[in-house]
Amino acid sequence: MTDLTPLTALRDRDPRSARFGAVTLSEKSDLSLASLYIGAGRTKPHPFGLDLPDIGKISNAKDHSAFWVGPNQWMIERKSPSECDFAAEVKAQAPETAVTEQSDGFVCLELEAPEDAMTALLAKLINLDPHSLTPDTAVHTGLDHMTVFVLRRSVTRLDFIGMRSYADSLWHALATAAARMNNLDT
């Protein structure tokens, strides 16, 4: 193990978390990510036993999940502990594909809220009908001039995966929306 100390995307030793009434916002720093790309017309592999999901969907296996990114393109995730050469593991599972390490390319902010609050929050954040974001739906869209993946893990849980360099701005956007909903300061 290296003797360098890593920082989270929000530039701290430990992931950040905050509570706004019934809404919890927390940084998830234990995620491993790699993008997987198959050439047009090739058959889909099954890395880690995953069925690579259809358009706009998430599929889950034991410790891994995958979400659709674009035609012939997915992001493979592994829950903790986070590693920075996850790509090698994915490549071993799907050798015929193009795999790119993305663990450090993104920040993942998790929003937990009751269903009604989640719907109200989404209306302040992204220009998509919240009712179309059913559990196991993944979309890529704009949020405050940034680009984000929005993953509906469950009715009460959403992950916003944005570019790592925008971590502070993404936190600001989500925290502001959550705070305003509760008439609180960020």
Partner 1 sequence: MSRISGGIINRDAPISFSFNGQNYQAFEGDTLASALLANGVQLVGRSFKYHRPRGILSAGSEEPNALVQLGRGARLEPNARATVTELYEGLTANSQNHIGPLKRDLMAINDLFAPFLSAGFYYKTFMWPRAFWEKLYEPAIRRAAGLGRLSFKPDPDQYDKGFLHCDLLVIGGGAAGLAAALTAGRAGAKVILADEDFHFGGRLLSESYTLGDALALEWVETVLAELNSLPNVRLMPRTTIFGVYDHGIFGAVERVGDHLPTPHKGLRQTLWRITSKQSILAAGAVERHIPFANNDRPGVMLAGAMRAYANRWAVTPVQSARDPIAIFTNGDDGHRTALDLLAKGVELLGVIDTRADAPRFGDYEVFASAKVSDSKGRHGLAAIEITHKGQPKWHKVGALGVSGGWNPNVHLSSHHRGRPIWDDDLLAFVPPKDGPKGLIPAGAAAGRGCTGDALSTGMNAAITALGILGLPAHKISLPETLSEAHKQEAFWHVPATAVDKKRQRKRAWVDFQNDVTVKDIALAHQENMRPVEHLKRWTTLGMATDQGKTANITALAVMAELTGKTIPETGTTIFRPPYTGVSLSVLGGGDIGQNFRPKRLTPTHKWACTRGAVFVEAGQWMRAQYFPKPGETHWRQSVDREALAVRAGVGVCDVTTLGKIDLQGKDATEFLNRIYANMMGTLPLGKVRYGIMLREDGALYDDGTCARLGENHYVVTTTTANAGLVYRKMEFAHQCLWPELDVQIISATDAWAQLAIAGPRSRELLARINDGFDISNEAFPFMSCAELTICQGLSARLFRISFSGELAYEIAVPARYGNALIERLIEIGQDLGATPYGTETLGVLRIEKGHAAGNEITGQTSALMLGLGNMVSKKKDSIGAIMSRRGEMATESKRLVGLRPINPNDPVVAGSHLLKLGSVLSLEHDEGWITSACYSPHVGSAIGLGYLDRGDARIAEHIIAANPLEGQNIRLEVVSPHFIDPEGERLRD
Partner 2 sequence: MIIPHPLLGPRDAQEFTYLGDASLMARPDPYSESAEAEFCNYVYLRDNPAGIHRELWFHEQGDRSWLIITRDTLTHEILGAELVSADKLKAGL
Residues making contact with partner 2 (CB under 8 A): 40, 55-56, 69-71, 73, 127-128, 139-142, 147
Are residues 105 and 163 in contact, defined by beta-carbon separation less than 8 angstroms? yes
140 binds, among partner 1, partner 2, none (CB under 5 to 8 A by kind): partner 2
Which stretch, 49-57, 60-68, 124-132, 150-158, contacts partner 1 (CB under 8 A)? 124-132
Does residue 144 bind partner 1 (CB under 8 A)?
yes
Is 179 strand, coil or helix? helix
Are residues 31 and 82 in contact, defined by beta-carbon separation less than 8 angstroms? yes
Least Å distance, CB 72 to partner 2, is 10
Positive or negative, the CA dihedral 169, 172, 178, 181 is: negative
Rg (CA), the chain: 17
Burial 38-54 (b: 16+ CB within 10 A, else e): beeeeeebebbebebbe
Location of structure tokens 């509570």: 19
Which of residues 16 and 140 has its CB atom nearest to partner 2 in the complex?
140
Q: How many residues bind partner 1 (CB under 8 A)?
A: 50
**Residues in contact with partner 1, shown as a per-residue x/- string from 70 to 89 under the rule CB under 8 A:** ---x----------xx----
Which of residues 60 and 146 has its CB atom nearest to partner 1 in the complex?
146
Does residue 100 bind partner 1 (CB under 8 A)?
yes
2 binds, among partner 1, partner 2, none (CB under 5 to 8 A by kind): partner 1
Q: What is the C-alpha to C-alpha distance for residues 82 and 29, in angstroms, rounded to an integer?
A: 7
In the complex, the residues that contact partner 1 under the rule CB under 8 A are: 1-9, 11, 35, 37, 39-40, 73, 84-85, 98-106, 123-124, 126-131, 144-146, 163-170, 172-173, 176, 180, 183
